[in-house]
Amino acid sequence: MEKIEIYLGAINGTVTVQLLRKKIKNIHLKVFRSLDVILSVPEQVSAEWIDDFLLSHKEWIDDQITKYKKASGFNNLAEIKNGSSTLFLGKDMRIYIEASVNNYIEIDENRINMYITDQTDERLIQSVFSKWWRKTAFKVYQQEIDYYYNTVIRKYGIDKPILSIKKMKTLWGSCTYKKNKITLNEYLLKANVRCIQYVVLHELTHLLYPNHNSDFYDFLTIHMPDWIERKKQLDNEVVQSL
């Protein structure tokens, strides 16, 4: 992966842009809430053109990074603290940590309540939260996979795929159709259910059409006519993209 450094100014200083050359037609510039900046370009684009493109979008990159920094730890799952916040199924949720004889988590309308045996043990807090998050993600994703598999995919004689969950920086999901396996990003749990459904159906469709060809998009549109709107909503809620 190529990397390019760009100076944004006195406040945010120099940031590193990760450059991905792909077999694509369009340019995609994304700033993630983790402050990672990723630029995907067609393979043949020159280095000079890329430099000019980043220079012309420097102000936009700076604005996105500043916005995320002002959020005071918003959506940062790598450092869970009392009073921090995150998106959970499309909602802003505040995290509260309380002392308890057992380690467990409960949620209500706008709170994630953590009950921890040792509130000073940061590794314990992170471990309890990470296990709960991944377990919840698996339950939510599997429920949507079961629904769309049974109502859309099953009649084509394809076995229900195995679900895997992992952390991914640039993908919401992937499908290894030869192994009948779907992998979903654990951070997708930040998005609302409609967006999760879009990613699930997108990856399930790859079991029938491995490539992003016209047949793939026709099938997706038939079974989810508003998938473009859902994808845009996903980008706007969890990732700021251009």
C-alpha neighbours within 13 Å on the C-beta side of residue 91 = 11
Domain ranges of the chain: 2-70, 85-133, 134-241
Q: What is the CA radius of gyration of the chain?
A: 20
pLDDT along the chain (242 residues), means of 10: 88 91 90 86 92 94 80 57 87 92 93 94 94 97 98 96 89 92 94 96 96 95 96 74 34
Spell out the CATH class of 134-241. alpha beta
**What's the whole-model pTM score?**
0.71
Could you say which DSSP state residue 169 is in?
S
